[in-house]
A = this chain, B = another copy of it.
């Protein structure tokens, strides 16, 4: 009970708030009933919200962490952050994150949208849950080459095909490997019209769907043969913590120059920056440093992540990035609530 309010003021606040929120009366009706002006009723309602006389709670299901989502959005200037439940085993956790990402895509994709897709086990899980309620005439195009060394379902072309199948859209395959032996060969490849054309489409996509890779030897880049374990060790020594589309960053989000980049057939970080909505999915346990580094690089607009990683990212980021909590603002009444 706010101490700075006189007893009869508190009673008036409570009565007026009761009429508005419980009895659904308009401010005009309340003004007439209490013989007050409408601005006065409005200020009293605002005061009721501010003072806690009106207590509005969102009874979210226990697996939702709206607070974490808020914190992530605010700390990294994301347009959206979705935190799904953590699960005891990695596969269930990956599925939960994939489901959330699929729901996001179902709502946001429109006919004509072009979606550039990366490789990865996290992105590879999304098509299973991608079931728009209506057909979507989208184009899914690979954002990077593939590799026979990894499972089909983690290859971009296959992911695109599966996504397109589930919504009646189209897939545009990139007929190129993810890596080649030299920069020269890579440049020569990119000059092939079929390849340049497809990567051009990917570069002009409205949405990119990417995974965030780690720097452990079990990551997709190493398993796919894009990097040797020696190259990965060197990247770690250089401070790399994670990558997106083969572009490695350190914990501060700075891009790390490495010769392997010249051999990759994939969209660059500059390409990603030009894409309006970059959706990143990450579910693997103990990957927060990778995610944090990529977030700080500033190319991600939407993050879909599990709870454990979310908490760890925010802990690592500390108060400097989570920022000073905003002063509590009066909430909407209904209307504003």
Name A residues whose Cβ lies closer than 8 Å to a Cβ of B. Answer: 1, 7-8, 10-11, 14-15, 17-18, 20-24, 26, 33-36, 48-49, 52-61, 64, 66, 69-70, 79-80, 99, 103, 107-108, 329, 331-337
Chain B residues, Cβ within 8 Å of A11:
60-61, 64
Chain B residues, Cβ within 8 Å of A33:
79-80
Closest partner residue, chain B, to A34 (CB atom): B107
Given A18-B60, A58-B53, A59-B54, A332:B333 Cβ within 8 A: yes
Q: Could you tell me the distance between the alpha carbons of A22 and B58 in the complex, rounded to whole angstroms?
A: 8
Q: Could you tell me the distance between the alpha carbons of A59 and B33 in the complex, rounded to whole angstroms?
A: 21
Chain B residues, Cβ within 8 Å of A99:
8
Q: Could you tell me the distance between the alpha carbons of A8 and B333 in the complex, rounded to whole angstroms?
A: 26
Q: Name 20 extra pairs, CB < 8 A, besides A14-B61, A54-B337.
A: A1-B59, A15-B66, A18-B60, A20-B336, A21-B58, A21-B331, A22-B56, A22-B331, A33-B80, A35-B108, A52-B59, A53-B60, A54-B57, A54-B58, A55-B56, A55-B59, A331-B337, A332-B334, A332-B335, A335-B336
Contact A64 B337 (CB under 8 A): no
Chain B residues, Cβ within 8 Å of A329:
24
A61 to chain B, nearest CB (A): 6
A41 to chain B, nearest CB (A): 12
Chain B residues, Cβ within 8 Å of A10:
61
Q: Could you tell me the distance between the alpha carbons of A107 and B55 in the complex, rounded to whole angstroms?
A: 27
Chain B residues, Cβ within 8 Å of A107:
34-36
- What is the oligomeric copy number? 2
A54 to chain B, nearest CB (A): 6
Q: Could you tell me the distance between the alpha carbons of A14 and B60 in the complex, rounded to whole angstroms?
A: 5
A325 to chain B, nearest CB (A): 13
Closest partner residue, chain B, to A80 (CB atom): B33
Closest partner residue, chain B, to A61 (CB atom): B10
A228 to chain B, nearest CB (A): 42
Chain B residues, Cβ within 8 Å of A18:
58, 60, 66, 70
Interface centre among A7, A21, A23, A54 (most CB of B within 10 A): A21
Contact B337 A14 (CB under 8 A): no
Q: Could you tell me the distance between the alpha carbons of A52 and B57 in the complex, rounded to whole angstroms?
A: 9
Q: Could you tell me the distance between the alpha carbons of A26 and B332 in the complex, rounded to whole angstroms?
A: 9
Chain B residues, Cβ within 8 Å of A7:
61
Interface centre among A23, A332, A333 (most CB of B within 10 A): A332
Q: Could you tell me the distance between the alpha carbons of A7 and B334 in the complex, rounded to whole angstroms?
A: 25
Contact of A61 among B1, B70, B335 (CB under 8 A): B1
Closest partner residue, chain B, to A336 (CB atom): B334
Chain B residues, Cβ within 8 Å of A333:
332-337
Q: Could you tell me the distance between the alpha carbons of A1 and B103 in the complex, rounded to whole angstroms?
A: 21
A229 to chain B, nearest CB (A): 40
A-B contact pairs, 26 of them (CB 8 A): A1-B61, A8-B99, A14-B58, A14-B59, A14-B66, A15-B69, A18-B66, A23-B70, A24-B331, A48-B58, A49-B337, A53-B59, A53-B60, A54-B58, A55-B56, A55-B58, A55-B59, A56-B56, A56-B57, A57-B57, A332-B333, A332-B334, A333-B334, A334-B334, A335-B336, A335-B337
